[in-house]
Amino acid sequence: SSDPSNSPPQPALSKDIILNASTNTSIRLFIPNPPPSSSSAKLPLILYFHGGGFILYHPSSLIFHQSCSTFAAEIPVVVASVDYRLTP
């Protein structure tokens, strides 16, 4: 997710992973930028469920994307932000 033309660099890298295409659910993963230098380094995991009362927003909403990016960079941790089905 990091764009090298951006200045300054993003505090965390992110990637969307489809969990179930038929229900349109996914997860957005965040890791600190730069990632840990050691390939054996393990980071704690935060499982993040965004607000919105099950009717509003997605992990891609700016406020939640920025919050998770900040968590990943400053703690440092891996953040998994869940995109769940919103109520009809």
Q: What pLDDT, in 10s, does the model give residues 14-73?
A: 999 999 888 888 999 999 998 887 767 789 999 998 877 766 777 788 888 899 999 999
pLDDT of residue 52: 72
Q: What residue segments make up the domains of the chain, in order of their start?
A: 12-83
Q: Is the pLDDT of residue 85 over 80?
A: no
> CA torsion sign, 15 to 19 to 21 to 24?
negative
**pTM of the shown model:** 0.79
In terms of Cα–Cα distance, which of 75, 30, 20 is closest to 50? Answer: 30
Q: Which tokens hold the place of 3?
A: 């764009």
| Mean pLDDT for the stretch of residues 80-87 | 82
Q: Other CB atoms closer than 10 Å to residue 38's CB: what's the count?
A: 7
pLDDT of residue 78: 96
The angle formed by the CA atoms of residues 75, 63 and 43, to the nearest 5 degrees, is: 25
- Measured in degrees and rounded to the nearest 5, phi and psi for residue 24 equal 55, 45
Q: How far apart are CA 11 and CA 17, in angstroms?
A: 20
pLDDT of residue 10: 82
